[in-house]
Every structure is written in structure tokens, then in C-alpha cells.
Amino acid sequence: MGNRWVAALLFVGCFVLWENHCPAEASSVGDQVGEVVSTDIAAYVNGKLLPSMNIAGETAIAAEDLRESGFDVAWSPRARTIRIDPKAAGELAAVEQAPRPDPNRLPNGTHLKDVLYTDIQAYYGDTPLRSFNIDGRTAIVLNDLDAFGTVVWSEAERTIRFQSTPLPEEGTRDAWREAGANLVLRTVKDVSLTLDFKDEGQF
């Protein structure tokens, strides 16, 4: 009898170990993978106050809203990508806006929307970012932009600020070379391009 109990316990233990080592089923587009909850944290990007949300304890914004803060935001339905590119320094927002009190603001942590799995990949330049589908918009986490400028969190003010590193002002070709810039092509529709490289590989 004792041997049967030992065998049964060994079987259950092996089953648990097998289950824990099995990879979780991959999420499909549209599957709920989290939730958006209300937050009192004000998010600023280049001095512009943008709507913010809390996703798993991190402050996120909609990538599309960055158009108001000195960025080009391009959506490619064919590639399933959304690309964020900073503009030149002279085109960035400069004057910071004070947040307006919202008498209808919900308590922190109140469920607002579902976070859905998406196959859309967000990029800052050529660098991939985490992205989330929130009601058909692509949300990104502000802290993920730290490599492209400065992200400053203030517990006392309940604010998080991202100041991007701008592109160099437009000037001579030599100025762009000194800045270490690469050739960047942006398209709004399918086009055919021919690049003629001259002067020892320069274009």
C-alpha cells in the first residue's frame, strides 16, 4: 500500500514539473494581456503635456500623440510598424504646460480599458520598443525612451518628463557627417528609388 502512495506522489510530481516547463501558448492578436488603470501622474514630452495611462505600474502614452511634441510618427500598414522620429531642435515644443485639475478624475488604479496583444511593432528610429494595443492605438512606455534623451521622474510633483535629443539643425552636408547621421528615407506610399553613390561612397 505504501509503495502505491509513493508511486502516485512521484507521478504527480513529474506531471507538475512537466507542466511548468511547457512553454505558454503564444498570445494571438486581440487577446487581453493586461489592463489600463487610471493614474494621477502627468506625462510631459518636450514640454508638452500628453494624456497618460498606467500599464502594469508603468506610465505609458499613445505613440500617435507624439506628433504634438516634435516627432514624426509614421504608420505602415504593410509592415505593421509605427515609427517615431524626432524633428530638428527648432521644431520641438518648448513651453511646458501646467496640468489642469480634472474634477471627474477617477481614483488611481481604476480599470479603464483592456490591454490587447498586438503584432504592431513600434520603433524609435531603428530601435524597437515595447508596444501595446489600447482601443486601436499603440501605447509605448515612457521609461523605454530613456536612451533617446532624458526621462525624469518626480515623486513630489507626480510627473514624468521626457526630453528628446533633437536632430541637428539642417545645414551643410559636412555638418550632418560630423553629427554621425545616417541616410534616412521616409515614404508615404510605394515608390521606386535609385541611389547614386559618389565621392568615395558618399551620397
- pLDDT, tens digit, 9 for 90 and up, residues 117-175: 999 999 999 999 999 999 999 999 999 999 999 999 999 999 999 999 877 665 544 44
Window from 21-30, 140-149, 164-173, 180-189 with minimum mean pLDDT:
180-189
Neighbours of 150 (CB within 10 A): 11
- In the chain, domain spans: 24-167
Top-confidence residue, 112 or 106 = 112
Q: Please give the pLDDT value at position 18.
A: 43
b or e along 111-131 (b: 16 or more beta carbons within 10 Å of the residue's beta carbon)? eebbbbebebbbbbeeeebeb
User: Which 3 state secondary structure label does DSSP give 35?
Assistant: strand
**Cβ atoms of 76 and 85 closer than 8 Å:** no
Q: What is the pLDDT of residue 124?
A: 96
| Mean pLDDT computed over 73-102 | 78
- φ, ψ for residue 103 (rounded to 5)? -65, -20
- pLDDT score for 194: 64
Residue 34, SS3? strand
Q: What confidence score (pLDDT) does residue 70 get?
A: 87
Q: What are the pLDDT digits (tens) for 57-82? A: 999 999 999 998 989 999 999 999 99
Query: CA-CA-CA-CA torsion for 61, 185, 75, 48, nearest 10 degrees?
Result: 30
